[in-house]
Amino acid sequence: MRTGISDMFGVEFPLFAFSHCRDVVAAVTNAGGFGVLGAAAHSPEQLDRELCWIDRQVRGRPYGVDVLVPARIDRAAADPAERLLDHIPEVHRDFVTHLFAKYGVGKGKPFTLGSVGGHADEVGRRVTHSGATGLVDVALRHPIRLIASALGPPPPAMVAKARAAGVPIAALVGTVEHARRQVAEGADLIVAQGTEAGGHTGEVSTMVLVPQVVDAVAPIPVLAAGGVANGRQMAAAMALGAEGVWCGSVWLTTEEAETPSVVKRKMLAATSLDTVRSRARTGKPARQLVSAWTTEWDEAPESPGPLPMPLQMLLAEGALARIGDAAENGEPGARELANYFVGQVVGQLDQVKPSRQVAYEIIEEFASAVDRLRRITGA
Amino acid sequence: MRTGISDMFGVEFPLFAFSHCRDVVAAVTNAGGFGVLGAAAHSPEQLDRELCWIDRQVRGRPYGVDVLVPARIDRAAADPAERLLDHIPEVHRDFVTHLFAKYGVGKGKPFTLGSVGGHADEVGRRVTHSGATGLVDVALRHPIRLIASALGPPPPAMVAKARAAGVPIAALVGTVEHARRQVAEGADLIVAQGTEAGGHTGEVSTMVLVPQVVDAVAPIPVLAAGGVANGRQMAAAMALGAEGVWCGSVWLTTEEAETPSVVKRKMLAATSLDTVRSRARTGKPARQLVSAWTTEWDEAPESPGPLPMPLQMLLAEGALARIGDAAENGEPGARELANYFVGQVVGQLDQVKPSRQVAYEIIEEFASAVDRLRRITGA
């Protein structure tokens, strides 16, 4: 297959696979697609190790890295990571303590924010310029073919470094206006992400957003994200004018994915009605599995409401790490709370398969969908 | 073009156009598509006149009729139409009176529910079995090729009458489960409608919903609705497995549409972010233009919250009819309040064109989109 991005990225089949799991990245790249490693949770040293491993697996085939670089940071987030904790109000800490008690998480051992201090560093890395910059430097020392910025326009320093290294920059957007801004600030590739996508997402659906973004940023190429987890959906995305697709959710239930088993089982059982666009996990609207965590934060009368990013992220990720451990240990209350980011396509995911097989099935079904269109139109 | 529904409906190009305007219905049918007249607001006599007119225009070409038949009716709605008004609580009447005063609607003449009494009959017709049944009887005396039921499964009496007349029944659904139920209750065609659609709509996007519904109800044919207003979107919908598309919003800004001029101008100026899925207009979640009407009902601290259907519909349609008149008379507060049902594709609508031209442009762009896919894949 040949689209405008085939040469730009050296990719045979324009299926971009976003995953935090290096195995998924390597498997999709080796199947003819393009794996993109979500690097935000790593330290620079960890990221270097992951990329060395991927380099050995893909032997020159194309892959990329995604970092989370916020364009505008709340003042609190400009503080050193360890001081972020001080900005979390008592009432929000108390609400988490209340949830731990109500759902019996950790068998009655009360929740304290100190116990999530280890996550402060990680979250700090995710959401500060300096944290992201360290990751960019590491990534550019590897033969990556794409660097993506998931939040807001890529900062000038990142653009300059990527340009110097000859690596194209991708930016995720949820509105036409953001797409235009990202291109003005240096993005070489736009990922237009519909509201049905997992994670941070806007309000406009993929079907409506993609053609508008394609028209607004031409000739900059556009990938479609959100609602794409099979070959028919990929064909649809490309009929809308996209040059390829960017998928995340579909890899979460693969064999290789490091998704915790409780969450994986929830995903396999979920319908497309079982997600919600909620601020309960990061402070910004992000689509995720409905669970007691989202319902309590969003609907309970005693909820103080989510904090802004990155404070809610710090509080939530710290708490959810403990909740995840408890859920894996079989605690029923923790299982009710456990969730993770995922798009509405979760309703299609009902079998654990190797990533390689998922990629091949998408490629095959894409071809059938295009064939069917051709037959219908008699072309 | 030839899909499974070409023979079923005698349609050249599977573009189904839902409109309350007979001119749009006739224009799309005469362009090779399939017009569907929204009949809910008509009396049986009015409907008969409209259909006689359409019959003369389309001279045997296929068209259909859509009635609003609720499967389950709130107890209040089972009352005769004129008594519905009694079920509207004081606090809700007062809130509308407050809005009229706040926005200076009718130049200070206070709002009274009595003044909307004329709408009680109309709303009663829309949402009661007996009201809808009269319309079904009239419709089946004309050479219609489709009868659609927009709310819930078609009632047995409607199924029996349509069957006897040899007219296929279409049902609109927003979930896979509803699609299965509709087929079980006798639907011959499913319209899978994504959350981006205008009017009553569910939560799942077209991209995610359509393939799931297609798989769930096969071999029953599926049309895709929601997010479809140009040829690329139609090609995408068909790549997802739909046999055609059902469009509503795109006709609202055509030359023929009877959309009030204030609302039409709002639609032409709106972006895809300017709609909201709100209960403020009918009592059920329905996508519509954001306006002071939706913002006040959904967000104002003094709002009592929308009533259930059909009470909110009765209150809102009565009030909005007066607001519409005031807006057309140039009252600025009324202009702020005025709105109408429309999907997220409203962001694409920026020119008034004849319906016939809109239909031809969709047909033409559809062909280009399929060609592009074929070129990309080298097929």
Q: Give tens-digit pLDDT for B271-301.
A: 999 999 999 999 999 999 999 999 999 999 9
Whether the predicted pLDDT of B118 surpasses 70? no
How many CB pairs below 8 Å do chains A and B form together? 164
Structural domain includes residue A345: no
Q: Distance (Å, rounded) from C-alpha A85 to C-alpha A72?
A: 19
Q: Are A54 and A65 in contact (CB under 8 A)?
A: no
- The share of chain B scoring above pLDDT 70, in percent, equals 90
Residues A136 and A217 in one domain: yes
Measured between CB atoms, does A211 come within 8 Å of chain B?
yes
Structural domain includes residue A344: no
Q: Is the peptide bond before B221 cis (omega within 30 degrees of 0)?
A: no
Which one, of A206, A140, A124, A146, lies nearest residue A173 by Cα? A206
- Can you tell me whether residue A95 is helix, strand or coil? helix
Domain that holds residue A197: 4-73+128-251+351-377
Measured between CB atoms, does A204 come within 8 Å of chain B?
yes
Residue of B203, B211, B226 with shortest CB distance to A230: B211
Q: What sections of A10-80 are H helices per DSSP?
A: 22-30, 44-58
Q: Give tens-digit pLDDT for B190-204.
A: 999 999 999 999 999
Residues B263 and B246 in one domain: no
Instruction: Give me the CATH number covering residue A44.
Output: 3.20.20.70
CA dihedral A352, A356, A362, A368 (to 10 degrees): -110
Structural domain includes residue A310: yes
Residue B310 burial (CB count, 10 A): 27
Contact across the interface for A239 and B241, Cβ inside 8 Å: no
Q: Give tens-digit pLDDT for A50-69.
A: 999 999 999 999 999 998 76
Amino acid at B307: L
CA A179 to each of CA A170, A220, A245: distance values in angstroms, whole numbers, following the listed order: 11, 10, 16
Instruction: Say what the pLDDT of residue A266 is.
Output: 98
Q: What sections of chain A are H helices per DSSP?
A: 4-9, 22-30, 44-58, 81-84, 90-102, 117-127, 129-140, 156-164, 176-184, 206-217, 231-239, 261-269, 292-299, 311-328, 332-337, 355-377
Instruction: Say what the pLDDT of residue B73 is.
Output: 46
Rounded mean pLDDT of A104-112?
81
Q: Distance (Å, rounded) from C-alpha A351 to C-alpha A84?
A: 40
Residues B149 and B238 in one domain: yes
CA dihedral B223, B349, B281, A195 (to 10 degrees): 70
Contact across the interface for A232 and B238, Cβ inside 8 Å: no
Q: How many Å lie between the alpha carbon of B240 and the closest alpha carbon of chain A? A: 5
Residues A156 and A236 in one domain: yes
* Closest residue in B to A349 (Cα–Cα): B212
Q: Any idea what DSSP says for residue A33?
A: S
Residues B138 and B173 in one domain: yes
Contact across the interface for A378 and B1, Cβ inside 8 Å: yes
Highest mean pLDDT among A2-16, A152-166, A236-250: A236-250
Query: Which range is least confidently modeled, A80-84, A269-273, B132-136?
Result: A80-84
Residues B141 and B158 in one domain: yes
CA A299 to each of CA A282, A291, A324: distance values in angstroms, whole numbers, following the listed order: 17, 12, 22
Give me the number of domains chain B comprises: 2
Residues B100 and B211 in one domain: no
Structural domain includes residue B154: yes
Q: Distance (Å, rounded) from C-alpha B12 to C-alpha B29?
A: 9
Contact across the interface for A233 and B226, Cβ inside 8 Å: no
Q: Which residues pair with A245 in a beta bridge?
A: A15, A224
Rounded mean pLDDT of B166-170?
95
- Can you tell me whether residue B169 is helix, strand or coil? strand
Residues B275 and B178 in one domain: no
Q: Any idea what DSSP says for residue B341?
A: B
pTM, two decimal places: 0.95
**What band does A130 get if pLDDT is binned at 50, 70 and 90?**
low
Structural domain includes residue A31: yes
Residue B214, token pair as written in the block: 């297609």
Q: Are B240 and B232 in contact (CB under 8 A)?
A: no
Q: How many Å lie between the alpha carbon of A101 and the closest alpha carbon of chain B? A: 32
Measured between CB atoms, does A342 come within 8 Å of chain B?
no
Residues B220 and B137 in one domain: yes
Contact across the interface for A347 and B208, Cβ inside 8 Å: yes
Q: Please give the radius of gyration of chain A, using alpha carbons only, rounded to the nearest integer.
A: 20
Q: Please give the radius of gyration of chain B, using alpha carbons only, rounded to the nearest integer.
A: 20
State the average pLDDT for chain B.
Answer: 91
Rounded mean pLDDT of A26-42?
94
DSSP output for A244-263 = EEEE-GGGTTBSS----HHH
- CA-based torsion, A106, A112, A118, A123: positive or negative: positive
Q: Give tens-digit pLDDT for A242-257.
A: 999 999 999 999 999 9
Measured between CB atoms, does A302 come within 8 Å of chain B?
no
Instruction: Say what the pLDDT of residue B74 is.
Output: 46
Structural domain includes residue A215: yes
Whether the predicted pLDDT of B75 surpasses 50? no
- H/E run at residue B26: helix B22-30
Structural domain includes residue A346: no
Residue A13, token pair as written in the block: 């089949």
Residues B107 and B172 in one domain: no
Rounded mean pLDDT of A153-160?
82
- CA-based torsion, B178, B180, B186, B192: positive or negative: positive
Q: Are A315 and B178 in contact (CB under 8 A)?
A: no
Residues B265 and B161 in one domain: no
* Closest residue in A to B3 (Cα–Cα): A376
Whether the predicted pLDDT of B354 surpasses 80? yes
Structural domain includes residue A373: yes
DSSP output for B40-108 = TTS-HHHHHHHHHHHHHHHTT--EEEEE---SS--GGGGS-HHHHGGGS-HHHHHHHHHHHHHTTGGGG
Residue A151, token pair as written in the block: 């939040």
Q: Distance (Å, rounded) from C-alpha A128 to C-alpha B144?
A: 62
Rounded mean pLDDT of B298-326?
94
Q: Distance (Å, rounded) from C-alpha B83 to C-alpha B277?
A: 29
Instruction: Say what the pLDDT of residue A109 is.
Output: 77
Residues A69 and A84 in one domain: no
Whether the predicted pLDDT of A76 surpasses 60? no
Residue A324, token pair as written in the block: 């995840």
**What band does B76 get if pLDDT is binned at 50, 70 and 90?**
very low
